[in-house]
Amino acid sequence: MSKKSSPHVSETPATQLLRQHKIAFSEHVYDYVEHGGTAESARQLGVPEHEVVKTLVMQDEKAQPLIVLMHGDRQVSLKELARQIPCKKVEPCKPEVAQRHSGYMVGGTSPFGTRKALPVFVEATILDLPKICINGGRRGYLVGIDPRVLPDLLPLRSVHCALDADAQ
């Protein structure tokens, strides 16, 4: 992972949680681009998009919220995720609903320090990476961490629901 580490960013609920649990992390600031997604952050930071993990706020058929952590260069198979959870259906939350559940602005959603405790489903292969960049709780701000700490910090369940980015 590139050492293009940037200046310190003011605390967010996510970084407060990481510090509280004494989790080592690096800070990576980039110029947020509306709809740029992980491709844009990976490009600016010089890291593989596969190691940039997106935090997706979704809901089941009962409108119960959940978080999915997915490789930046992959999509979530909603059918496969629903089958593994199990539930009838999973769909992305509308931005205003996602913000209400997480406490974070869309584009700056971190799985750490959410407003409500939400179940978190992680694509299993993320846990095999040596390091990941994941949102630090603000647009244009990622934190680099060892993914092996995720189970200690989050109500985590491992799933296999990745699709190639161009597959739908």
pLDDT (tens place) for every residue of the chain, 168 residues total? 444 444 567 899 999 999 999 999 999 999 999 999 999 999 999 999 999 999 999 999 999 999 999 999 999 999 999 999 999 999 999 999 999 999 999 999 999 999 989 999 999 999 999 999 999 999 999 999 999 999 999 999 999 998 876 654
- Token look-up 């590139």 returns 2
Residue 163 pLDDT: 85
pTM of the model as a whole: 0.92
Helices and strands: H and E segment counts in the chain = 5, 10
- The number of beta carbons lying within 10 Å of the beta carbon of residue 134 is 25
Q: Are 122 and 81 in contact (CB under 8 A)?
A: no
* Alpha-carbon gap, residue 109 to 144, rounded angstroms: 15
DSSP-assigned letter for residue 125: G
Residue 167 pLDDT: 52
DSSP-assigned letter for residue 115: S
Residue 90: strand pairing partners: 60
CATH of domain 13-129+147-164: 3.90.960.10
